[in-house]
Amino acid sequence: PSPPSSVIIIGAGVSGLSAAKVLAENGIGDLLILEASDRIGGRIRKEKFGDVSVELGAGWIAGVGGKESNPVWEIAAKLGLRTCFSDYSNARYNIYDRSGKIFPSGIAADSYKKAVDSAIQKLKGLESNCVEDATNRTDFTLTPKTPIELAIDFILHDFEMAGKEFLVADERGYEYLLYKMAEEFLFTSEGKILDNRLKLNKVVRELQHSRNRVTVRTEDGCVYEADYVILSASIGVLQSDLISFRPPLPRWKTEAIEKCDVMVYTKIFLKFPYKFWPCGPGKEFFIYAHERRGYYTFWQHMENAYPGSNILVVTLTNDESKRVESQSDEETLKEAMVVLRDMFGSDIPDATDILVPRWWNNRFQRCSYSNYPMISNNQVINDIKAPVGRIFFTGEHTSERFNGYVHGGHLAGIDTSNAVLEEMRKDERQKGKQNQNF
Ligand code: FAD
């Protein structure tokens, strides 16, 4: 029998690990995972903050309770991962203005309706497949202008709230799920992966590909060869110049990669000596209405997840994320305290600690997740996913239905490995035919 094919998987996030697991289960022994950072998990990452574990990347298991079951939810349930249901429905009734007054529920409901109507109008225009037309048809009076309209617009468009969402609130972190997945096919001992098929701190810089082989070069000068490569680097990394391809990727591929927007989403954690914000039912999420869209708009207290932790989280996106990433944490802390004092008065205590993740400036991420423009058709995602010779592309950004989510990454990894296995079978059949002819 011909020797089994070899596969190199680039990246040990959820998609890379899911892909590797499928290959291992299908008897592909010659398997190598090259991960640029010093850990597995990618955009699933916990960190100790105060006395608890907080999730810097993915925090929620989304899309639970829909028509289809979410496989990540099922794995989490099997492992007994602790989660809390997030009820966002009341957030719009906890909107503070700059003087600390909560907007009356009637005004909040009106603004909310206006924002939803505007979104529907836009969508209808886009569905007619004419962008210009869509812009023209949007009623100008529906464009958000006031602080409360801007705040609601931000929440509607910059957050992906899909189905029921459960916040992972487990000291072992969301990443525990990935360690357990890895344990099923990699050699581990005392919670550590000791298998030499996983190589950390291996930054892939070049993929040279021919009809029969792929040669992978890493930043530390190592060279690896395989029959196939599965590349799980994020859409942000694909848009950057971290990895070069020889020969270069075809134009249809690079154009598709450029068409996908990247979303930067930053959760800033603040620790306080005591609670000064309202707790209790319907109070977990609250909103700050400011004349600058997305300026420290969306807040959450962590009392439901970790009672007594005295931690608040504020979420920033895109330009605000990039701005905050480029300044010192002290400056960010000062800004956040001004906002909190607007909402809760001048005598609240200063935060004693702050944690600001930097996904945009991380050269192994360059984004938080993919965000396909509403008008993009399936062709863009199909082109991003399509293999180029023996290089197969995976990752959340290649998931048609769940891009941007952990379960999207998980399902994409499985799909990509199945596609590689199919290709191997084709290869085998081809070789068999050639031998017969000979
Ligand atoms: P990654 O996890 O990015 O894995 C790719 C791996 O490739 C990384 O480990 C990276 O280091 C490595 N790599 C990159 N370049 C190279 C190279 N040149 N050589 C070698 N290795 C390389 N999803 C949800 O479902 N719910 C949420 O609540 C949620 N919130 C989020 C909040 C934030 C702040 C962020 C950042 C993401 C969030 N997501 C959420 C999205 C979710 O985290 C991702 O969709 C998912 O984890 C992506 O997995 P992946 O395997 O596709 O990519």
List, in order, residues 6 or more apart from 33 with CB less than 8 Å away. Answer: 8, 9, 10, 11, 12, 16, 17, 20, 197, 198, 199
Query: Does residue 313 have its Cβ closer than 6 Å to ligand 1?
Result: no
Residue 136 has pLDDT above 50, yes or no: no
Using most ligand atoms within 8 A of CB, pick from 10, 43, 364, 398 the residue to mutate for ligand 1: 43
pLDDT tens per residue across span 199-211: 999 999 999 999 9
| The pLDDT of residue 21 | 98
Cβ–ligand 1 contact at 35 (below 6 Å): yes
Say if residue 157's pLDDT is above 90: no
Structure tokens at 252: 């249809």
β pairing state of 285-288 and 298-301: antiparallel
Rounded to the nearest angstrom, the distance between the alpha carbon of 122 and the centre of ligand 1 is 30
**Which structure tokens are listed for 227?**
């029959």
Does residue 137 have a pLDDT over 50?
no
Taking a C-beta distance cutoff of 8 angstroms, is the pair 3, 429 a contact?
no
Cβ atoms of 49 and 431 within 8 Å: the answer is no
Q: How far is the CA of 52 from the centre of ligand 1 (A)?
A: 22
- Residue (of 81, 69, 54, 149) closest to 354 by Cα position: 54
CA–CA separation, 282 and 431 (whole Å): 64
Residue 12 in contact with residue 195, Cβ under 8 Å? no
Max CA distance (Å), the chain:
87
Ligand 1 atom nearest the C-alpha of 368 is 36
Q: Which residues contact 32 (CB under 8 A, 6 or more apart)?
A: 6, 7, 8, 9, 197, 199, 224, 226
Higher pLDDT, 438 or 93: 93
The Cα 374–Cα 134 span in angstroms is 12
**Residue 342: how many CB atoms within 10 A of its CB?**
18
- At 319-375, the pLDDT tens digits run 999 999 999 999 999 999 999 999 999 999 999 999 999 999 999 999 999 998 766
- On whether 204 is known to bind a ligand per the annotation, the reply is yes
CA distances (Å), origin 284, targets 281, 312, 376: 7, 10, 35
- Choose the weakest-confidence range: 6-20, 117-131, 250-264, 355-369: 117-131
Name the region of 122 (left: φ>0; alpha: ψ -120 to 50; beta: rest).
alpha
**3-class DSSP assignment, residue 156:** helix
**Model confidence band, residue 264 (pLDDT cutoffs 50, 70, 90):** very high
Supply the DSSP symbol for 103.
Answer: P
Distance CA 264, CA 317 (A): 5
ipTM higher than the 0.90 cut: yes
11 lines ligand 1 (CB under 6 A): yes
Element (H, E) at 80: none
Specify the length of the chain in residues: 438
